[in-house]
Structure 1
Amino acid sequence: MTSYSGYSKPSYGAGGGDEGNGFYGGSQTGSQGQGGQKGFTDESLRPVTIKQLLDLEEAYPGAEFLIDGHPITQVTVVGQVRAVTPQQTNITYRLDDGTGTIDVKKWVDTDRPEEAEPKYALDQYVRVWGRLKSFNNKRHIGAHFIRGVDNFNEVNYHQMEATYVHLYFTKGPIGGAGGAANGNYNTDGNAGAGDSMFVDQYGGGAKSEETAKLGSCSPGARKMYQFLSNTSSSNEGVHLNLLTSGTGLSTRDILGAADELLAQGLVYTTVDDETWAILDY
């Protein structure tokens, strides 16, 4: 986890995918596959606008991407689908958030043929978690996870959150002396309820939000969440095999439960797509 200033929060989806197959294990290269290894603890998630991704500069080809002087590993954006291009190995969505447009590539798992069909229609709003990539001087996002936006408040919230974080880095924390922030900011990027970051910043409500989200999940998802809460003691999380043996749920049930918890922003994938950890509130 990358740390910035007095505010601390675990990254959402601190595992995820690389450009080749959608997932990676252990330590990995930086944001766009440049030289130099980044460990798991260097992972962070930052809410951004598309313009921020298009305007940032690389110190040299292959250097890590920086926004406001801080490296970015994973990013989250919210935008409207303007074009959909299905291909054999991936589905490319052209995303527009009002500040710019960028391609988002979601790699298809060959073991899950249903993933080859586009899930999101033109003009639909979606939230994307992923990594900024650069190929032939053109940037795109390699998506780990995409979900539809059901409440338009999330669109407005994301723009506010991206602005807040930018000001945090450039002006310092609220009530601080100003200047670039050092030390601990991470956000879960899950704006579905529209208040997670600001509630935590100003106090109260975060635990009740977690409880409300869990209450809308199936019994299997709640059982998986409870097992993770009682078992996971590190950022590496708990693997599918241990979950099936520990909960008595089938592999299919665990995968379904994981999808529910991911959609609610309650867990994230870690070293691979079959290992999950709790997103602490």
Structure 2
Amino acid sequence: MSAGSEYRSPISPQSSSSSSLWILPCTVSQLLSAATVNQDSFALYEQELYQVSVVGLVRGFAPFVTNVQYSVDDMTGPPLVVKQWVNTEEPLKTLQCQGKYVKVIGSLRNFNGQRSMLAMDVRLITDLNEITSHMMEVVRAHMQLSRKTLDVNMNVLAAAGTRGAGPPEPGFLRGLSAVQEQVLEAIRRRSYWDQGLGLDELRAELSYLRIADIRTSLAFLLNEGHVFSTIDEHHFKAAEY
């Protein structure tokens, strides 16, 4: 579908209580070519977009009284305008992002015919491996959404189904790796406990994983708001369970 095409999405926000929490990893070109559902609602492969993430280079920014507008370029299309509302009582912390890679989480918007991204979070990337990781997550999500099997060169091998066959797995839409999804699921199952799940208990339950991978996944889940600490920094609950 072209960016200007219209269609009725088979999935609405009311169809799933967790839809609004999904974070779909995307490229700029995907966001700019997504089908239009209505003024501020878009879709890829008939899956309506809620929260999305992009990784790109900050080509420039323009600070205003209430917001900062970034120009984020991931080299898949023209730079994407990203708007982030700021706390007017705090000094702007944007200069260090100029010419550096950032990860943006937010939602796609349409203003006067121009698409832009309303950012919930703009985070500076310090480990360049995260750029590669993001692109891998984009490919995985693309395969889930399109129901296609690709080779290492992104050539279509076979169609595993048709569009609209159902939403992809939640882990893909949240932008989580397999390890991060396992850690989140373990914490979610114990979130009804008053203190949540302790780190030692988490390590015992996921004993087949390296502790370094568990800690890295925990740091990511905490930073992205999927989990939070309770009585201390070693006990956790899931934001949604």
TM interval, shorter chain, is: 0.5 to 0.7
1:62–1:209: structure 2 CA closer, same or farther, 3 Å change rule? farther
> Which residue of 150, 170, 192 corresponds with 1:186?
170
Whole-angstrom CA distance in 1 between matches of 2:167 and 2:218: 34
Unaligned 5+ residue runs, structure 2? 1-13, 151-157, 185-205, 229-235
2:58 corresponds to which residue? 81
1:159 corresponds to which residue? 135
* Structure 1 position 99 matched with structure 2 position 76: yes
> Which residue of 142, 147, 165 corresponds with 2:123?
147
1:90–1:205: structure 2 CA closer, same or farther, 3 Å change rule? farther
> Which residue of 43, 53, 62 corresponds with 2:31?
53
Q: Which moved more, 1:69-78 or 1:173-182?
A: 173-182
Q: Secondary structure at the match of 1:58?
A: strand
Superposition deviation, residue 64 in structure 1: 2.4
* Structure 1 position 116 matched with structure 2 position 92: yes
Choose between structure 1 and 2: higher strand proportion. 2
Superposition deviation, residue 171 in structure 1: 1.8
Superposition deviation, residue 155 in structure 1: 0.6
Whole-angstrom CA distance in 2 between matches of 1:70 and 1:126: 25
Whole-angstrom CA distance in 2 between matches of 1:40 and 1:76: 17
* Structure 1 position 125 matched with structure 2 position 101: yes
RMSD, matched Cα: 4.3
Whole-angstrom CA distance in 2 between matches of 1:189 and 1:208: 25
Identity over aligned residues, as a percent? Answer: 27
1:71 corresponds to which residue? 48
**Which of structures 1 and 2 has the larger relative contact order (alpha carbons within 8 angstroms, sep 6+)?**
1
* Structure 1 position 212 matched with structure 2 position 195: no
1:169–1:74: structure 2 CA closer, same or farther, 3 Å change rule? same
* Structure 1 position 62 matched with structure 2 position 62: no
Superposition deviation, residue 43 in structure 1: 3.6
Aligned residues: 190
1:185–1:133: structure 2 CA closer, same or farther, 3 Å change rule? same
Whole-angstrom CA distance in 2 between matches of 1:44 and 1:191: 8
Q: Secondary structure at the match of 1:167?
A: helix
2:238 corresponds to which residue? 278
Whole-angstrom CA distance in 1 between matches of 2:135 and 2:219: 26
Instruction: Name the amino acid aligned to 2:90.
Output: E
Unaligned 5+ residue runs, structure 1? 1-35, 218-260, 269-275
The 8 Å contact of residues 25 and 175 in structure 2, kept in 1 or not, is answered as: no
Instruction: Name the amino acid aligned to 2:83.
Output: K
Q: Secondary structure at the match of 1:77?
A: strand
Superposition deviation, residue 262 in structure 1: 4.0
- TM-score, normalization by structure 1: 0.54
Superposition deviation, residue 37 in structure 1: 11
Structure-to-structure mapping, 1:3-22, within 5 angstroms: none
